[in-house]
Structure 1
Amino acid sequence: MERKKRLALNTSTSLLYQVVTIICGFILPRLILKSFGSEVNGLVNSITQFLAIISFLELGVGAVIQSSLYKPLAEKDDEQISRVIVSGQKFFSKLAKILTAYVVILMVSYPFIANQKFGFVYTATMIGVMSISSFAQYYFGIINSLLLTSDQKGYVSYISQTVTLVMNTAACFMLIKLGSGIHVVKLVTSLIYAIRPLILAIYVRRHYNLNWNIKYTEEPIKQKWNGVAQHVSAVILDGTDNIVLTIFSNLKDVSIYSVYSIVTSGVKQLLLSMTNGIQALIGEMWAKQELDELKEFFGWIEWILHTGTILIFGITSALIVPFVEVYTKGISDVNYVQPLFAILIVIANAGHCLRLPYNIMILAGGHYKQTQNNYIIASALNIIISVIAVKAWGLVGVATGTVIAMFYQTVWMAWYDSKNLIKWPFKKFLKQIFVDVVIVVLVHLIINLYFVKTWFEMKSVTYVSWIFLAVKISILVVLISVVINTIFYRTHIRSVVKKSINKIKK
């Protein structure tokens, strides 16, 4: 299967998975909120983040394994592939054992460190049932998923994830409607998600000529521990906020954060899904040193990701508060309308997507050790600012920490790529950021003009009214984006229009 077809298949299946994730992500939290209340919803999301802390101990080895597989996969070197996979599996098997010990410690300690009103047994058993799928992932699933992604066959993983996600949503919907407790619902979720790694294990054993008993004298995964900073940074930037809120605030704030995250994380993952095949492709080009082709491809990826991010998050920034109003209608135990926090969390997630092309290049090029200080500083900024600001500003405080860390990291990565790797000019990044800012500012200026402001308001707190508003906002953002990009990126726009016309003619 040629590169373009693999990229298209990976992108389409990943996109399908993210769309299904977003839909299911709206259904289940709403059911939990209505059936069990905001504090139970906060508890579930808090435990999820505490369980995610174990991924700290992955120490970035997963990303390094992917980088180590690009060359042997390109050369079809089965022996070297086997060495990397066997070494990686040994690491993740040890991590699964550590996870078991961590879960026991968490079951004992979490009920005392979290600001929550539930009993010890209630909370500890919740942690136990929610940890089952995490154990299955580390023991059976991660190494096979890394192999498939590196070989540009991520579509196998995305299809299995989509199927199990739909199964889980249907099962949980029925259980909640039948009056089952939250523990039963989460136990069923864990058992269904444990099916995923088994599917991947069967596929890999049937389609790859791996020698699981291979011996090696030299560590096959080069720079094995040099991905630590990148990985820890990613975990902190994604998971710190909920943990800080759990310890220094309360579960109601965690619930508010989780509701806004349904939207922002869904949109972010939608954009990430479009890049899932790109890193493997860039990694292959870098391994073969096809630098001219790589530079041209990178230029397009930068523009597409920036344009897509600003387009989607520009729409999100105007629609997120009205959506939350509709989504939480009838739930009165907490005030979910938080406009300033909404803007900050949108900016933070948009920043995560804007840094993607530069981060992908660093990971595909295997520059882990050279870039680790950037990741350490970003992590420190996020933690320190969040912990200091949460007491005074609550949700706004933790979001501020994430925004500042993302801004620093995005600029640093773009600068690093301009000086190293493919030598991408930093002025091109600055131009792209300028265009991004102009589009967003124009959108919000027009929306808030006094003589058109009423056009961009919901007439009632209903999904129908929100959909009408979404259509108007989307048209406005698309029009402004097209006009501004035509001015600054005329060649790109012409190329997109030409390709679109050719496809329509065919």
Structure 2
Amino acid sequence: MRTLNAIRNILTDLARHVLTILLGFISRTIFISILGVEYLGVNGLFTNIIMMLSLANLGIGTAIVYKLYKPLAEKDDDKVIALMNFYKTAFRIIGIIVFLLGMIIIPFLDILVKEDIPDLKLIYVLFVLNSALSYFLVYNRSLISADQKNYKLVWIDSSFQIILTILQIAVLVITKDFVLYLITQILITFIQRVVITIRVRSLYPLLKSKKKIKLTIKEKKELFKNTYAIMIYNISTAVINGTDNIVITIFFGLHYVGLYANYFLLIVSIGTVLGKVFKSLTASVGNLIATDTNNKSYEMFNLINFLYFWLIGLITCCFYILMNPFILLWLGEDFLLPQQVVLPIVISFFTSCMLGPTNMFRNAQGLFVFGKYVPLVESILNILFSVVLAQVIGLSGVFWGTILSRAITSMWYDPYIVHKKGLKKSLIPYYITMLKYAFTIITTIIIIQPLISNFDESNLTNFIFKMGICLIFINTIFYLLYRKTKEFIYIKQVFVKIYSGKLKQSM
């Protein structure tokens, strides 16, 4: 049943996020044509500031989901109720804290943003309000996530995403007002969260319980211990992910933030799909670790790592070769960044995403307290390197700074913790495998790029042809190199079972 639920979650999440991506590009095109690149820069800048203020929910969400795996498997309703009561109270406090922290930053906005943007402070307050309100309802979703049933919310998410996009487009076309655009987002998002809350409570009647069940002092201590470790980790991660636009704003202005925002939309759209798809596996991993042997967990890690490589390697190659041609077709030459800037953007995407399996097992194994200060060091190095390199080599230096700080810290330390403390296996095979994956991607790009370099990039037909060549050749190269590996053979067998309709009977 674990495999079936994981596959169902993957397919439903994939379908929803493909739709979300398409709607996002439609909305972004109209946004730029009506409001311009400077407002797009404001949107990107404030999104990053809110990301850091939110501090990735301080880690309580991850710690609670981890704690829910066992009581859900054992049908211990009282423990689930106690955890959800604690979660609800904690998230309401966090929502208030996020709002207050956001208000403190208002006097510094004029220092950060040099351009004359009407209603700048009101726009920022709306961003803060939207983030703060989310904490009062979003906690309900953690239960359905831990129970591997996210697919039951897909129709709600998809419907509201369509409604929101249509309404925001209508507001832009009719009023050309960014403030009303944001108010629309706040209202529709809030209604969506109310509907999701009602749906989750109908699926889990225990949430309607009036029992005042509380966690024991020992359980709270353990939870706070894990939360503190995740908090340090997530604060640092939020700083790492959120500083690029701030550094770009300070040294290069909102215009370049707006240009980068379009590349970031491409990356985050695909990254979100991958993240949601593989996040569906986290609960399965947690269940596996709780019920199966360590060797089985190690095999699962290698399998997921291989899946990440294939998908992310494919996307990385396509990004480097096709990203600028796509931006040229979509928005025009004025919105292009130089290829020397695209290179570190793509490398940063790859190095970040390939830590996904490590992060997944780190959370599923509950290894929150180990190396909790490593991301803090990484965030400090990221700011330092990005600021220095931005002044030395320009815009690309911002992204090279991020890559360099990651290479020195989390890129080697996080896998070390997962292998030593969780999987209890040697790290050397992992490093060899990752070097092999990286070499495969570099070689693939070197082979394919000359084949399509002479095509006219402003022609849609040629772009589609180039994309087809990329997809065929990249997958062919990967297949020829890895078709005999244990991971590929296993995946092939699973898909054969799905196709033949035998998967469910084999559970």
Distance 1:236 1:161, change over 3 A: farther
Relative to structure 2, which stretch is displaced further, 307-316 or 355-364? 307-316
Matched, 1:305 2:302: no
Task: Give the TM-score, by structure 1 length.
Answer: 0.91
- Larger displacement relative to structure 2 (108-117 or 351-360): 108-117
| Residues in 1 aligned to 2:218 and 2:394: alpha-carbon distance in whole angstroms | 46
What is the count of residue pairs matched by the alignment? Answer: 493
Which residue among 228, 234, 237 is the counterpart of 2:237?
A: 234
Structure 2 letter corresponding to 1:262: L
Q: Residues 33-72 of structure 1 correspond to what in structure 2 (within 5 A)?
A: 33-56=32-55, 58-72=57-71
Unpaired stretches in structure 1, ≥5 consecutive residues: none
The verdict on how the C-alpha distance between 1:380 and 1:481 changes in structure 2, with shifts beyond 3 A counting, is: same
Query: What CA distance in whole angstroms lies between the structure 1 residues aligned with 2:476 and 2:490?
Result: 18
| Counterpart residue type for residue 238 of structure 1 | N
Larger helix percent: 2
Tell me which residue corresponds to 2:467.
Answer: 470
1:278 maps to: 281
User: Is residue 247–residue 386 contact of structure 2 (8 Å, CA) maintained in 1?
Assistant: yes
Q: Give the corresponding residue for 2:331.
A: 328
Does the aligned pair in 2 maintain the 1:83–1:220 contact within 8 Å? Answer: no
How does 1:110-189 map onto structure 2 within 5 Å? 110-119=109-118, 122-141=119-138, 143-189=139-185
Aligned-partner Cα distance in 2 for 1:501–1:146: 32
What value does the CA root-mean-square deviation take over the aligned residues?
A: 2.3
1:131 is paired with a residue whose SS is helix
In structure 2, relative to structure 1, the CA distance for the partners of 1:69 and 1:448 (3 Å cut) is closer
Change (3 A) 1:5 1:444: closer
The corresponding residue for 1:387 is 387
Give distance in 1, aligned partners of 2:435 and 2:480.
14
**1:475–1:219 distance in 2 versus 1, CA, 3 Å:** same
**1:316-465 correspondence runs (5 A):** 316-329=319-332, 332=334, 336-407=336-407, 408-449=409-450, 452=451, 455-465=452-462
**Is the 2:285–2:364 Cα contact (8 Å) retained in structure 1?**
yes
Query: Aligned AA for 2:231?
Result: V
1:325 match: secondary structure: helix
Report the CA distance between 1:81 and its aligned residue: 1.2
State the shift of 1:362 in Å.
1.0
Work out whether residues 102 and 128 of structure 2, in 8 Å CA contact, stay in contact via their aligned partners in 1: yes
Please state whether the residue corresponding to 1:214 is helix, strand or coil. Answer: coil
Query: Aligned letter for 1:493?
Result: F
2:201 alignment counterpart: 205
2:471 maps to amino acid: S
Matches of 1:247 and 1:215, distance apart in 2 = 50
Deviation at 1:500, TM superposition (A): 4.3
Counterpart for residue 294 of structure 1: 297
Range with greater deviation from structure 2 (278-287 or 400-409)? 400-409
Task: Label 1:39 to 1:175 Cα distance change in 2 as closer, same or farther (>3 A).
Answer: same
- C-alpha displacement of 1:96: 1.4
Task: Give the TM-score taking structure 2 as reference length.
Answer: 0.91
Cα deviation digits, residues 167-224 of structure 1 (max 9, x gap) = 1111122222334312212211221111222122212322321345514352644223
Contact kept in structure 2, 1:245 and 1:253, CA below 8 Å: yes
Instruction: Provide the secondary structure at the position in 2 that maps to 1:371.
Output: coil
Partner of residue 486 from structure 2, selected from 467, 472, 491? 491
Equivalent position SS for 2:336: coil
| Counterpart position of 1:26 | 25
Q: Per the alignment, in what secondary structure is the counterpart of residue 461 of structure 1? A: coil
Q: Percent identity?
A: 21
Paired residue secondary structure (1:421) = helix
Number of the residue aligned with 2:4: 5
Q: Answer yes or no: is the 8 Å Cα contact 1:285–1:294 preserved in 2.
A: yes
CA contact (8 A) 1:362 1:417 kept: yes
